[in-house]
Amino acid sequence: MSNDKLDIPQQFASPAVPALLTEDSVIRFQCYKGISCFNACCKHADVTLAPYDVLRLQKRLGMNSEEFLKKHTVPFQLDADGVPGIKLRTDNDGACLLLDGDNGCGVYEDRPTVCRYYPIALLNMREKDTYEAKQQYSLVQEDHCKGHDEAREITLRDYRKEQGVAEYDDFNRSWYELILKKKSGGPGVGKPNEMSLQLFFMASFNFDMLRRFVLSDNFKQSYNLPPETYAEVAEDDIALIKLGNRLMRQALFGEKTIPENSGAWEQRVESRKEIWEARSKAEVEARNAKAEADMRQETTGCSDN
Ligand code: SF4
Ligand code: SF4
């Protein structure tokens, strides 16, 4: 096992007990409505979101991507190169905005991966010589969480089943691996340019914009995909996000799994030539007009204004 690790989803804000756990490990823990600390964790929420979390939450809340991102998330950087991540927005005291008063989580059936795992922190670690994410776990023990004082013992395997995390992990795995690869600096991985970072954000979190982008004429002129693929991504969110993953890999690591049309760049340049020429003509005219006005002012001491 290498030292490369990715602790996404992050645990709630507190140090994890460092010992690594496996699915066979047994923890003593139970959480239920009525426990003395009910909701205490959601009042100190530090929840990093992965793509499937965003998809589930925006559907649950009946929002489009832009509305959801604006209202319920805050940005942060996943690494020193500025790879963008998002967390759930909280109020000024740190309480999750999705908390429904004393009733508990207002989106319980669609709660994010971090909330499902808690008090377990999921650690995605890179196996030596591969970029596959191997899942490991550690236990988070915070003073406010009284679930650790309960008598129930449960294996992590059963706890994962109880919390329904497998679907989330399966869907997000490819994204975790992408970030691990970026962090581990594999071949051809450098600091991404601004355009790649924007593509990363769109393909990871802004699915409505990703769909518009993929179905645009510009995209179809640049990439050579069969009509069935476009029909599928127009309807199916999962297919759309999978294509987004391939696009990110193509932009960040040069993994060319989406065939590019030859001459696409030249075509785009040609189709925009007229606009560029008109724009530069207008700029030259504006510069000349200003120079003329300046000269007139210098010689006559007055301006046109
Ligand atoms: S999404 Fe739900 S479980 Fe997660 S922090 Fe917010 S209220 Fe708590
Ligand atoms: S037992 Fe822990 S996880 Fe459950 S409500 Fe209390 S603080 Fe939250």
Ligand 2 proximity of 146 Cβ (cutoff 6 Å): yes
Residue 108 lies inside a defined structural domain of this protein: yes
Nearest CA to ligand 1 atom 8: 42
Same domain, yes or no, for 161 and 227? no
List Cα–Cα distances, 164 to 15, 83, 95, 117, in angstroms.
24, 28, 24, 9
Q: How far is the CA of 80 from the centre of ligand 1 (A)?
A: 28
DSSP bridge pairs for 136: 123
Q: pTM of this prediction? A: 0.81
Number of domains comprising the chain: 2
Tell me how far apart the alpha carbons of residues 246 and 98 are, in angstroms, rounded to a whole number: 32
Domain limits for position 206: 194-253
Atom of ligand 2 nearest to the CA of 40: 7
Q: In angstroms, what CA-CA distances link 296 with 283, 285, 286?
A: 20, 16, 15
Q: CA 40, CA 86: separation in Å to the nearest integer?
A: 22
Residues 175 and 201 in one domain: no
Q: Is position 221 within any domain?
A: yes
Please list the pLDDT of the chain residue by residue as tens digits (305 residues).
Answer: 333 455 544 433 344 446 899 999 999 999 999 999 999 999 999 999 999 999 999 999 999 999 999 999 999 999 888 999 999 999 999 999 999 999 999 999 999 999 999 999 998 877 767 767 788 899 999 999 999 999 999 999 999 999 999 999 999 999 999 998 888 765 456 788 898 999 999 999 999 999 999 999 999 999 999 999 999 999 999 999 999 999 999 988 889 899 998 766 556 555 555 655 665 666 666 666 666 666 665 554 444 43
Residue with the nearest Cα to atom 4 of ligand 1? 115
98 lines ligand 1 (CB under 6 A): yes
Would you say the CB of residue 99 lies under 6 angstroms from ligand 2? no
Same domain, 172 and 89: yes
Q: Tell me if 45 CB under 6 Å of ligand 1.
A: yes
